[in-house]
Each structure stands twice: as C-alpha cells, then as structure tokens.
Amino acid sequence: MKTHKKSLVSMADFSKEDLASILDLTKRIKSKPLSKSNILKNESVALIFAKPSLRTRVSFEVGVNQLGGSSITIRMDEISIGSRENVEDIAKVLSKYVKAIVIRTYEQKQISDLDKYSTVPVINALSNEEHPCQIVADLHTIKETFGKLAGLKIAYIGDGNNVAQSLIIGAALSDMNISLGCPEKYSPVPAFIKLAKKINPKIKIEIVKDPKVAAKNADVLYTDVWTSMGQEKEFKKRKKIFSNYQINDGLLKIAHKNAIVLHCLPAHKGQEITAKVFDQFSEVIYRQAENRLHAQKAILIRLLEG
Ligand code: CP
Ligand code: NVA
C-alpha cells in the first residue's frame, strides 16, 4: 500500500516548486487539451458536493473524463459525512474504489479529516476557508495574460472569504504583492496573512479598509460575491456593508492602465462588479473559468503521480 500520498487540502500544501510545476503542466495541457493521458484509465474519481456548483463540478467531471477515467458525483446528503457514517469509514471505503476524492463542503476540518484517513489524494473543491483549485486557475490566467507572476500587484476587493484566503497563499507562493480592500470585521483570518508572510517574507501584503487604496496601481483587480454559499441569511446586512466594495469604472481608473479584472464566478452584476466592467473584461473572466479545467487536470496528474 502506498504510504505517501499528496493531497490538496489547503493552498499551503503546495511548495513554490509544486505550484510552478503545476502551472507549467497547466500550460502544456491547455495547448493540447485532448492529448491522450492514461493516468485515470479504468479508474474513477469521487466528487462529493455539499454546496452547489457549476464550474467546479463540470470541470472536474470533464477533466477526469479527458484523463481517461470516470467520475462519480455524490451529493453530501446521500452520504452525510459525520452523521450517517463517520469520516474515517467513508475515507477508508472510498479509497478502496476510487483514485482520488474531490470534496466541496463547509468545514475545512471535514476535508482534512477525510485526508487523514484516506489512502488516495483528497482535493479541496471549496470549503468555508479555502478554494485552492480556483486559485491555481487564477494564477495560470494571470501568467498567460502578463507572461509572469513575480512582481505583479493583485488587489482583492470585498469579502475576506475562502477565495481571498487561498489567494493570499497563492500570491506568496508566486512572489506577487497582494492588497486586500475589505470592510472592518470582514478581513481574512490573520492566520493566512501570517502563513503567507512565513512562506514569502519578501512580498508586500496589505489589508486596508479603503478599496481605492487597495486598487492603487494594481495589475489585477479581483472580486468575489459579497455573500458566500451558506451565508444567505446575511444577504441584506452584507449588501449594505459591502456597497462600497465594488469593481467599477472609478476603481479601474486607480489601477494600472493595463490592469485586468478577474472574478471567480458566479457574479452578481451591480453588486461586487458593475455589468459594464464585467463586459469589458468578460474575455479574461470566461478564460479564467475555462482554466479551471486545465488547472484541475494538472492538479490531478501531479497528485496521482505522488
Ligand atoms: N468558481 C466556482 O468555484 O464556481 P462554482 O461554485 O460554480 O463551482
Ligand atoms: N466565496 C464564494 C465562492 C464561490 C465560488 C462562495 O463560497 O460561495
């Protein structure tokens, strides 16, 4: 039995070298998306979803298929980790059937517990804390647009959520400076800043309340929804608190003149981004979504290689 397996539970599971290698592979895969890979031939991957998804689910299903395997999508309420059955039994049983487990859920701990007991790679497809697959695709998108990552400034505007937290680690791993404009009490958890500083003491990490300060001279403006999945009851309150944290023409003027705008999607136009700015940058935003597919195939290959 394989004793050493690699997983992607947190963006911080990657070293700088791991990430660079995955980004190189993403580029190669994108240039020949349907080239034969046998890595999953006759094998299966389990995809567990406790929250809705368009991009993550479809891109994983398509990606697994393109790698020669088949995917089994399981709704969390069919297996109910921790109530119908404990996480250890689920991890150990699934490991007998599938080559990898992809999971989108609420608690990060549920993913790390699954990883603890599983003998196959576990991939975080979004938790309340992190969204590492998204960030790999985002970094690839930035790299294919600017030809580099190191030295660029990314400004994240809005909620210091799962996407923001993985993005901070991603910036540290790729020598990018990052500035986050978040309302008071909606900043990322300080542990992520601490970790990013430890990974890369040379980059500049800034958390500010004023989105204009964050956006100043940024090469990339990035935003995400104000209300994440699971926070729907807070929608009204958040809509007020975040009303000033919008990527619009005014903010775009403050960024670098060649800046791009990214959005992980789904987007709520008129809230975190104006319809006008979205349309202006729709090519790169849809390409960012496309890159989920290429990036996740690269992640699967690297993790399965062990
Ligand atoms: N960006 C993203 O993860 O989209 P889905 O929630 O649709 O998977
Ligand atoms: N922060 C968002 C990301 C969606 C891809 C959420 O968790 O709902």
User: Per-domain residue ranges for the chain?
Assistant: 11-130+292-305, 134-288
pLDDT by residue (tens digit) across 73-121?
Answer: 999 999 999 999 999 999 999 999 999 999 999 999 999 999 999 999 9
In which order are the strands placed within the sheet that holds 220-223? 205-208, 177-181, 153-157, 220-223, 260-263
Mutation test of ligand 2: which of 104, 108, 163 has the most ligand atoms closer than 8 Å to its C-beta?
163
Q: Which are the contacts of 272, defined by CB distance < 8 A and separation ≥ 6? A: 157, 158, 223, 224, 225, 226, 242, 245, 246, 247, 263
Q: How confident is the model at residue 2 (pLDDT cuts 50, 70, 90)?
A: very low
Closest CA to 113 of 133, 89, 79: 89
Query: How many A from CA of 228 to the centre of ligand 2?
Result: 5
Q: Which class would CATH give 11-130+292-305?
A: alpha beta
Look up 28 and say whether it is catalytic. no
Which DSSP letter does residue 188 get? P
Over range 229-241, report the average pLDDT: 98
User: What homologous superfamily is domain 134-288 in, according to CATH?
Assistant: Aspartate/ornithine carbamoyltransferase (3.40.50.1370)
Above pLDDT 70, what percent of the chain? Answer: 99
Look up 84 and say whether it is catalytic. no
Same fold, 11-130+292-305 and 134-288: yes
Query: How many A from CA of 133 to the centre of ligand 1?
Result: 10
Tell me the one-letter amino acid at 189: V
pTM score of the predicted model? 0.97
